[in-house]
Structure 1
């Protein structure tokens, strides 16, 4: 295993570099000590292996060769416990996405149980409301102090909003395929209804959020018909599939010419990251099966396309009516 590991690291080293010197520098050991590890005369410790894996940016699954289909390693994103944590998540997500915009052939597939977050990160009430909902889930003091959205919107940090809008914009330069079903809209609408009924959201702002959701859906419809994202610098491709069979999961896969990586929701907006390539290929096959049993909306007839989006607009209008008349007899079905 150690021999295979060092063989893989060598392939990552430029021909002009001394591999032994490089390993010695990363591990902070002498030339002879590094040489003994490379030639298997000294066993590599786990801590040393992790240092090398991080330096050469390789998956821990490659490091330990935990290659069984039943046993893989995964990374868990840092826990979000405050508004500062959400702000840091915005910054890190942006930094992680920037390189993808420079890779030719890079794309994202998204199984949309809810409206993908990058559609909602715009300068409107909906984006601010989404941040409020995330914070309610991770910060108990918000609930204890009975802070309403109307209160929260007056004090939301400007740099947090700037980072949110910046993150939303970066997605416009990545090819994206989304798979929706008839319930994808429900989670967002249910959140508005819940906090309105709980008294944490005023009628006026609830109605404005409904209008923002409607605008987002109209933009998505236009982009699905054009098969391109608005304001994209490089004409990024946008494909929207509708699936009437499977439940979606908010699982996202990033595909590059070098590898595939996918992300599974863990809590709120945190996630589990999987880089193990055999597992990624298995998940990619699931995506392909879901797409094969779905309709690509640009190829669907005008009737099918209109039915799908009209059903969504009907749900938004029903929520709007519910807020206006304050009638308890309401659901989305």
Structure 2
């Protein structure tokens, strides 16, 4: 494995200097130490391999591709333990995709188990409620407290909201393809009902959050009909597929003329960032197969499109009826 890695480095090396001297300088070791590594007499450590890969602009996956085709390197999102951690997570997400605004023909494909994150990053009560739910799930201390959403919403830092709105805006500058199912809205509805019935969200705010979900669905329906993100001078496309065959996963794939990457979730908000191109191609092909077995609602016909969105709105309305009821009963 090391022999092939060294061979790959030599192909990238500066021909104007001694390869041994170049490696010695990068690793900050002596000439003899560099010579022993190049000639396989001393193993290259993981830390040294990372330094060399960064210097020669080689994907870290090259360290593994030469040894096994079944191993790749991924980047993990920042941990979220508190409000500051959530803000750092959002800022890292902005960093990951902000360049897309400047890339022509950049595209998102979003496999939507839940309402896509970007639709809920607006100046709305729903956005603030999502943050509350995330932190109740991820912040151990907050999970132990009985702080209500009504009280917590008054404490949200402006910097956190500003970052969230900035991340939501990026989504409007790319071409979007989303896959939804009949159950995509269920998670958001259940989150409202759960904390309302636990006494942690007031009736008034719970109903207002449901109204915000209605507005999100109305906006998505308009984008679906227009086949566009919308807005003045915005020519970016929007395509919504109704998927009945496969379970959706909240996987986000980014496609540009320069390559592909995708974000694969593994907890509430944590994700793996995958840039290994062979793996990205596998994910891209799978998403394409999902779309081929799904219904593009822009062209499916007015009846199918109307029925889909009507069913979604009915679910939200049923949740509002349940909130308004004096005696609680099981939500079916």
Whether TM-score is above 0.5 comes out as: yes
Which residue in 2 is equivalent to 1:103? Answer: 103
Shift in alpha-carbon separation, 1:2–1:69, aligned structure 2, 3 A? closer
Structure 2 vs 1, CA of residues 244 and 164 (structure 1 numbering), >3 Å: closer, same or farther? same
**Which residue in 1 is equivalent to 2:81?**
81
Kindly tell me: are residues 92 and 25 of structure 1, through their superposed partners in 2, closer, same or farther at Cα, counting changes over 3 Å? farther
1:211 aligns with 2:192: no
Structure 2 counterpart of 1:227: 227
Show CA shifts across 1:180-206 (max 9, x none): 000000000000000000000000001
Q: Does 1:324 align with 2:324?
A: yes
Displacement of 1:139 in angstroms is 1.5
Q: CA deviation at 1:47?
A: 1.2
Aligned to 2:90: 90
Match of 1:170 in 2: 170
- Bigger drift between 161-170 and 137-146 goes to 137-146
Unaligned runs of 5+ in 2: none
Matched, 1:149 2:149: yes
Aligned-pair CA distance for 1:170:
1.1
Where do residues 5-16 of structure 1 align in structure 2 (5 Å cutoff)? 5-6=5-6, 8-9=8-9
- CA distance in 2 between partners of 1:7 and 1:252 (Å): 35
Match of 1:60, SS state, is coil
How far apart, CA to CA, are the structure 1 residues paired with 2:324 and 2:284? 44
Checking the alignment, whether the CA contact within 8 Å between 1:69 and 1:278 is kept in structure 2 is: no
Structure 1, unaligned stretches of length 5 or more? none
Does structure 1 conserve the Cα–Cα contact (< 8 Å) formed by 2:37 and 2:43?
yes
Q: How does 1:5-154 map to 2 (within 5 A)?
A: 5-6=5-6, 8-9=8-9, 25-29=25-29, 43-56=43-56, 58-65=58-65, 68=68, 70-154=70-154
Q: Could you say what the CA RMSD is over the residues aligned between the two structures, in angstroms?
A: 2.7
Residues 66, 226 of structure 1: alpha-carbon distance in 2 compared, 3 angstrom cutoff? farther
Task: Give the match for residue 186 of structure 2.
Answer: 186
For the 8 Å contact 1:172–1:232, the answer to whether it is kept is: no
Mean CA deviation greater in 170-179 or 84-93:
170-179
Residues 303-318 of structure 1: pairs in structure 2 closer than 5 A: 303-318=303-318
Structure 2 CA distance, aligned partners of 1:137 and 1:58? 37
Task: Figure out how many residues of one structure are paired with residues of the other and give that number.
Answer: 332
Give the secondary structure class of the aligned counterpart of 2:61: helix
Give deviations 1:242-267, integer Å, cap 9, x for gaps.
11121111112222333322222111
Please list the CA deviations of residues 66-87 of structure 1 after superposition, one character each: whole Å capped at 9, or x if unmatched.
6645444433323211111001
Q: C-alpha displacement at 1:303, in angstroms?
A: 0.6
CA distance in 2 between partners of 1:239 and 1:16 (Å)? 52
| Cα distance in 1, alignment partners of residues 194 and 224 from structure 2 | 30
Deviates more, 1:15-24 or 1:267-276: 15-24
Shift of 1:101: 2.3
Contact 1:173-1:233 at 8 Å conserved across structures: no
When normalised by structure 1's length, the TM-score is 0.89
